[in-house]
Amino acid sequence: MAGVSDADLKKMTQDERVKALGMTTEQLTGKSLYIEFDPDAHERFTYPWAPEVDYNKRTELDTDDLTTTEVNARIRELMNEGYGTIVLKNPRGKHSIGVGILSRLNLIIEGSTGYFGVGLIDGPNVRINGRVGWSCAENMMSGTVVVEKNAGSTFGAAIRGGDLVCRGSVGSRTGIDMKGGTIIVGGDTGALSGFMMQRGRLVVCGNAGKNLGDSMYDGTIYVGGEIKSLGVDAVKAELTDADRKWLTRKLTQYGLMPKKGVDHFTKIVAGKQLWNYDNLEPHEKKLIL
């Protein structure tokens, strides 16, 4: 594998590259890859391919006459030039803006974005001085995203890590299928928020709509206001000192700490009555066989 250069790989088809890198010979039987950590691994804080950026090196990009593809390509070029703070001007509701950033970066968006803004990110700190459309930060892996105004539905869909904050209110299905990380809503959230949630924490400072936490598998939801109704298998739990401490730290961090504290928050968790997947497996296997 080490003997194959990038120049050689470039000449190959994708199938040839996969074989040249020895990937088709891997044994993937069993559930474990049996990889062991190297206790002497070098200290490194970014992915090997991540560009070296300096947060103090700042630039602005007027996106008015650019397509989304051009904007996203330009962000990568600027990062490769070492810019660690990029300000996007005039986004005018473009969809899929700022997606797939897998490195540290300060991204400031001066205006509102459309669907799937800053999705698939892993590391950057994003501030959006406007509103966002559906599925903002979907599949986010790490970093912080702060939206100063309101957000559309499926805010933080399938988020796996990091902090996603909306200072205003959000639409329905907030945190649908979330698998980790933290979503904080300063205002209200719509129906079916936390739907099929598997891990992570969803904090709503205002009210929550119908069917909150429907079919949630794990994770925790905190609501500061009224809850219209709970979904299937979502149950109330006792707010512990650890919860209070965590809520206070997180809400203070983003300037959303209520004046009356956090004692009034209702905690919702999974009742775990839907943990039946393992029971289905034998029947499914029989059908396949």
Partner 1 sequence: MAGTQFRGSEIKDVDQFLKDAEGLETDREKEIGQHIGYRYDVNLVPDYDRITPFLTKYMEIMGWDDLNWLEDIHMGYEEGMPAVFDRNINGWVRIPDSIKLPDNQQDRDMIARELLLKFQMSDRHPLVSLRKAYKKF
Task: Name the residues that contact partner 1, by CB under 8 A.
Answer: 1, 4, 6, 9-10, 14, 17-18, 21-23, 31-39, 41-49, 55, 104, 106, 123, 125, 141-144, 160-163, 180-182, 199-200, 218-220, 235, 237, 242, 245-246, 249, 253, 267, 269-273, 275, 278-279
Rounded to whole angstroms, the Cα distance separating 194 from 227 reads 13
Q: Which residue has the tokens 């004692």?
A: 263
Q: Which residue has the tokens 């119908």?
A: 210
The number of beta carbons lying within 10 Å of the beta carbon of residue 228 is 12
DSSP 120-153: T-EEEEEEESS-B-TTTTTT--EEEEEESS-B-S
Q: Which is nearer to partner 1, 10 or 259 (CB)?
A: 10
Q: Which is nearer to partner 1, 273 or 288 (CB)?
A: 273
CB of 116 to partner 1, least distance (A): 20
Q: Which is nearer to partner 1, 14 or 289 (CB)?
A: 14
Q: Which is nearer to partner 1, 22 or 261 (CB)?
A: 22
Q: Which is nearer to partner 1, 93 or 180 (CB)?
A: 180
Cβ-count burial of 193 within 10 angstroms (0-12 exposed, 13-18 middle, 19+ buried)? buried
CB of 87 to partner 1, least distance (A): 16
> CA 286 from chain center: how many Å?
37
CB of 93 to partner 1, least distance (A): 27
- Say whether 88 sits in a helix, a strand or coil: strand
DSSP state of 255: T
Cross-strand partners of 128? 109, 147
Residues 6+ apart with CB under 8 A from 207: 188, 189, 223, 225, 226, 227, 228
Q: Which is nearer to partner 1, 18 or 92 (CB)?
A: 18
CB of 13 to partner 1, least distance (A): 11
- Say whether 7 sits in a helix, a strand or coil: helix
Q: Which is nearer to partner 1, 90 or 253 (CB)?
A: 253
CB of 88 to partner 1, least distance (A): 18
CB of 32 to partner 1, least distance (A): 5
CB of 90 to partner 1, least distance (A): 25
Rounded to whole angstroms, the Cα distance separating 217 from 19 reads 39
DSSP 211-226: SBTTT--S-EEEESS-
